[in-house]
Amino acid sequence: MLRLPRPILVLLLVAVAAIAVVPLVGERFHVQLVTQMMVLAIFAMSLDLLVGFTGLVSFGHAAFYGLAGYALAILTRDAGLTSMAVTLPLTLVACGLAALAIGALAIRTAGIYFIMVTLAFAQMVYFFFNDARDYGGSDGLAIYTKPQLAFGETMLLSLQNRTTFFYVTLAALVATFCFLRALLRSPFGHVITAICVNEARTRALGFPVARYKLASFVIAGVLAGLAGYLGAAQFGIVNPAHLGWRESGRALMVVILGGTGTLFGPALGAFVFLLLEDVLSGLTEHWLLLMGGFVIAVVLLLPNGIAGALLRVARVPPSAGEGARSRPDAPALRVVASNDAPILETEGLGKRFAGLVAVNYVSLSFASGKVHAVIGPNGAGKTTFINLLSGELPPTTGSIRFKGKDITGFSPDARSRLGIGRSFQITNLYPSLSCLQNCWVAAQSRQSSSMRFFRAAARLDDVRARAECALTRCGLAERSDDLASTLSHGERRRLEIAMVLATEPELLLLDEPLAGLGAQESREVVELLAGLARDHTLILIEHDMDAVFAIADTLTVLVNGEVIATGPVQQVRSDPAVQQAYLGHEEAAA
């Protein structure tokens, strides 16, 4: 979903060309400074993959940067290895394994807890090397022989040469940018971007988000290791400070300064940050105050950093999905034939929150190919019941069977992949993505695997076809290029249903799809639901009784978490207990 306008791409090419001539016209100091900028740029881009594109704010990212430096120092000192063809892969593998171990634990948390866990791991690594005399303690380790690359007796390159090192670092910077750009345009990139925007919705669509977050964490750790390898080789020394929280905070500041979620922004931020550091430190010993003021000004005046300002100047139109084009011949969505067996069954299903019983031993059978409405007064436990069916909440008691299979312990993404789709009581979309992109992510969840890192997602014609078909069925084909945030409330309701349809579910769990709609919008959604009822099984929670009576085949009434009546609509409407508890005599007689 990363799309850069042509002016920005031209600007980046000009910047690379300008950097490439620095060794030819600059002095030794300038060559070293620009090399340092490029190393920091690689480090910042690796962190932006987490912060800007996956939504994981790590305050321990420097652990991988420092580990790479120590790995290089240990390999050259203890193993006598100096070949770049050996030390670089071993260093990156070490960083990848460390990221896998740390990430496997860290991604179990979220928000501030994720930040603290990553910080804690980084500090543990910091104190290990700080106290380890064999590895130099607080003084660190020196790298006396810098890596080199040879073919037989022929020396191809040596990082001991300042100019050679400069161009190797430039090549690494360009390669990192191209790698990340290809990654973010791939199916994998689409998923992690969706996780960043709305993790709960991505999980409900059927993606195992923990697996994607862990993969992103490992990739970012390996790229940080590449930066650490080059940084240690440049200065010929590594010490525990490279592992500390200050180094992580510095990288995070660079990312914010340049612009999160822009990829080229953090690289730009690295150049600006180090240039200002060099200039301001020569003006006054209190240069940190000036630097802090500059960063604050950028945050206040440029909400998405320097890159955000450049993108606004370039007038980037709202992203509509790469390769999004009209396909009038798109095939219809898969329709699942109904049968006589129940599609979903609950037995003794209950949910207790401390002393509150929200759902109390509910045993129901939902017929395949029918519309089963669940109604009840506010606080009756209807949404809790839907959350139990979709896997958002684990039950306290009872079991759930889908097509005869016990799915009680299944996660929301596992249930989605089985064919259970759901909409939420409060519309749950990707507001910063276009309508087509919203449905694209949903349709992609039915691919055999979205863990594809290099194939462009725009080439998945079957995914595009299902997404466009779902939009057309929900009457949103003309709004496919519009951001979800620009839709009316009724259109957002229909978009959420379109997203569910794009996953080709057999069973739809719809939690108050008419909530907050006007009369005309309600009629449009009711017509849509009536059409869906012809080839899907619907479990509908709704307060609009006219809509319920118009489309429902079976009606269940919940009061205080208990079923007081269930059966055909007319039978339940005339039940005296239902009339007294919920419908009222006049409405039941209408």
pLDDT digits (tens, 9 = 90+) for 65-75: 999 999 999 99
Q: If pLDDT is split at 50, 70 and 90, which confidence band does 314 have? A: confident
Q: Which structure tokens are listed for 248?
A: 């992580």
User: 237 has which bridge partners?
Assistant: 142
Residue with tokens 């630097």: 291
Give the residue-averaged pLDDT of 263-280: 92
- For residues 117 and 174, state if they share a domain: yes
pLDDT at position 524: 87
Give the residue-averaged pLDDT of 436-463: 83
CB within 8 Å of 434: residues ≥ 6 apart: 318, 319, 320, 321, 324, 480, 481, 482, 483, 484
Q: At residue 319, does pLDDT exceed 70?
A: no
- For residues 152 and 188, state if they share a domain: yes
User: 238 has which bridge partners?
Assistant: 141
Q: If pLDDT is split at 50, 70 and 90, which confidence band does 315 have? A: low
- For residues 465 and 397, state if they share a domain: no
Average the pLDDT over each of 173-187, 444-458, 537-551 and give the range with the smallest value.
444-458
Which CATH number belongs to the domain containing residue 384 in this structure? 3.40.50.300
Question: pLDDT tens, 197-239?
Answer: 999 899 999 899 999 999 999 999 999 999 999 999 999 999 9
pLDDT at position 55: 93
Of 380, 365, 377, 481, residue with least CA distance to 433: 481
Question: pLDDT tens, 414-433?
Answer: 999 999 999 988 888 999 89
Angle (CA) 211-55-317 rounded to 5° is 115
Q: At residue 326, does pLDDT exceed 80?
A: no
456 belongs to a structural domain: yes
Q: If pLDDT is split at 50, 70 and 90, which confidence band does 327 have? A: very low
In degrees rounded to 5, what are phi and psi of residue 300?
-75, -40
Question: pLDDT tens, 11-65?
Answer: 899 999 999 999 999 889 999 999 999 999 999 999 999 999 999 999 999 999 9
pLDDT at position 317: 46
Percent of the chain predicted with pLDDT > 70: 93
Residue with tokens 């704010």: 57
Q: Which of 201, 224, 244 is the last residue of a domain?
A: 244
CA 232, CA 62: separation in Å to the nearest integer? Answer: 13
- For residues 174 and 210, state if they share a domain: yes
**Better-scored residue on pLDDT, 453 or 23:** 23
108 belongs to a structural domain: yes
454 belongs to a structural domain: yes
Question: pLDDT tens, 495-504?
Answer: 999 999 999 9
Burial tier of 568 (Cβ tally within 10 Å: 0-12, 13-18, 19+): exposed
Q: If pLDDT is split at 50, 70 and 90, which confidence band does 122 have? A: very high
Give the residue-averaged pLDDT of 276-284: 88
CA 176, CA 229: separation in Å to the nearest integer? Answer: 14
288 belongs to a structural domain: no
Q: Which of 211, 244, 277 is the last residue of a domain?
A: 244
Give the residue-averaged pLDDT of 161-183: 94
In degrees rounded to 5, what are phi and psi of residue 348?
60, 30
Q: Which of 454, 475, 504 is the last residue of a domain?
A: 504
Average pLDDT for the chain:
87
pLDDT at position 340: 63
CA 578, CA 126: separation in Å to the nearest integer? Answer: 66
Number of residues assigned to the chain:
590
CA 493, CA 513: separation in Å to the nearest integer? Answer: 6
Q: At residue 153, does pLDDT exceed 80?
A: no
Question: pLDDT tens, 68-109?
Answer: 999 999 999 888 888 999 999 999 999 999 999 999 999 999
Asked if residues 55 and 196 have their Cβ atoms less than 8 Å apart, the reply is yes
Q: At residue 392, does pLDDT exceed 80?
A: yes
Question: pLDDT tens, 506-534?
Answer: 999 999 888 888 888 888 888 888 888 88
pLDDT at position 584: 54
Q: If pLDDT is split at 50, 70 and 90, which confidence band does 582 have? A: low
- For residues 541 and 434, state if they share a domain: no
Question: pLDDT tens, 471-481?
Answer: 999 999 999 99
Report the amino acid identity of residue 514: L
- For residues 386 and 448, state if they share a domain: no
Q: At residue 293, does pLDDT exceed 70?
A: yes
pLDDT at position 588: 43
Question: pLDDT tens, 333-384?
Answer: 555 445 567 899 999 999 998 878 899 999 999 999 899 999 888 888 889 9
- For residues 494 and 551, state if they share a domain: no
Q: How many domains does the chain have?
A: 3
Percent of the chain predicted with pLDDT > 90: 55
- For residues 589 and 560, state if they share a domain: yes
- For residues 492 and 510, state if they share a domain: no
- For residues 201 and 166, state if they share a domain: yes
60 belongs to a structural domain: yes
Range of the domain at 381: 339-419+505-590
Asked if residues 228 and 67 have their Cβ atoms less than 8 Å apart, the reply is yes
pLDDT at position 583: 57
267 belongs to a structural domain: no
Asked if residues 493 and 525 have their Cβ atoms less than 8 Å apart, the reply is yes
CA 283, CA 279: separation in Å to the nearest integer? Answer: 7
Q: If pLDDT is split at 50, 70 and 90, which confidence band does 483 have? A: very high
- For residues 400 and 488, state if they share a domain: no
- For residues 353 and 488, state if they share a domain: no
